[in-house]
Amino acid sequence: MKAVFSSEWLKLRSVTSTYHTIGTAALMVALGAAWTFYVSGLADERGSLRAAAPEEGFLPLVQISLAVLGVLAITNEYATGMIRTSLITVPKRGTLLLAKAGIVGLTTFVAANAILLVTYSASRLIASDRHLGFNGTSFADDLPKLLASALSVTALALVGLGLGAAICSTAGAIVSVVALLFVLPGVVNYLPPPWNTRVATLLLPNLVPQIADERLSTRLGDGFLPPWAALAVLIAYPIVTLTIGYFLLRRRDA
């Protein structure tokens, strides 16, 4: 098993798409700094200003970028035909997918935490003592939200891996991830109440604040999951997609 993990790690770091996706996610640092400079200037003019924290506002960029990494971790092999060699080397397809999931999950979790922490630190340093909406809390207060954000990025990358294994198409899997993250939340708004808010609590974009135990009264009404339940729902996303991907991978000829 150790050899399989080593092989998957070598594959992941040997393709340029890995560095492109992580580099795109790391743009959050630059965008966060630019945003903080902008709102800090407004705060100096107005005395105080409510503004979204950059690690929250630009989180979808990190999520979608590293979800693409998860997709490409397997669809690249289908595109090049390398999947045949992988399956000859590791005939147990569950072992192969598990190794990919472990490497993708660890890589995206470390990358997401690094990007989020750098963005958080840089924005607070730039904001200094200005009266901004995101500058009045301590690191200890914000840590649960940062960890929940990193977990959401990891979960979405594993969802991308599972969808890539199921669909075997880079474009199809990426479109599916985009639909989960951006399209479905908009569609749910058209459901009749109270189903719109009940379903909304289960969607990926709304799970991070619930895991951090932040009330979403403005968007979800009375619907709100306790942190443990929101975390369970977040974990369920990659488990379900990876399970589907495994069964389809097992039934499919390479």
Mean predicted lDDT score pLDDT of the chain = 89
Residues paired with 49 in a beta bridge: 132
| Ramachandran class of 128: left when φ > 0, alpha when ψ lies in -120 to 50, beta otherwise | left
- Is the predicted pLDDT of residue 158 greater than 70, yes or no? yes
- Helices H, strands E: what count in the chain? 13, 0
What is the rounded average pLDDT of the residues 101-124? 96
- Asked if 176 and 245 count as a contact pair (C-beta separation under 8 A), the reply is no
pLDDT value of residue 49: 62
- Is the predicted pLDDT of residue 75 greater than 90, yes or no? yes
What is the rounded average pLDDT of the residues 163-174? 95
Burial of 140: CB neighbours in 10 Å, binned 0-12, 13-18, 19+: exposed
What is the rounded average pLDDT of the residues 145-156? 96
- Asked if 167 and 175 count as a contact pair (C-beta separation under 8 A), the reply is no
- Asked if 142 and 224 count as a contact pair (C-beta separation under 8 A), the reply is no
The domains of the chain are located at 2-251
Q: With a threshold of 0.85, does the pTM exceed it?
A: yes
Three-state helix/strand/coil letters over 38-77? HHHHHHHHHCCECCCCHHHHCHHHHHHHHHHHHHHHHHHH
- For 211-238, the pLDDT digits (tens) are 988 765 445 555 678 999 999 999 999 9
- Is the predicted pLDDT of residue 241 greater than 50, yes or no? yes
Backbone phi, then psi, for 49, in 5-degree steps? -160, 135
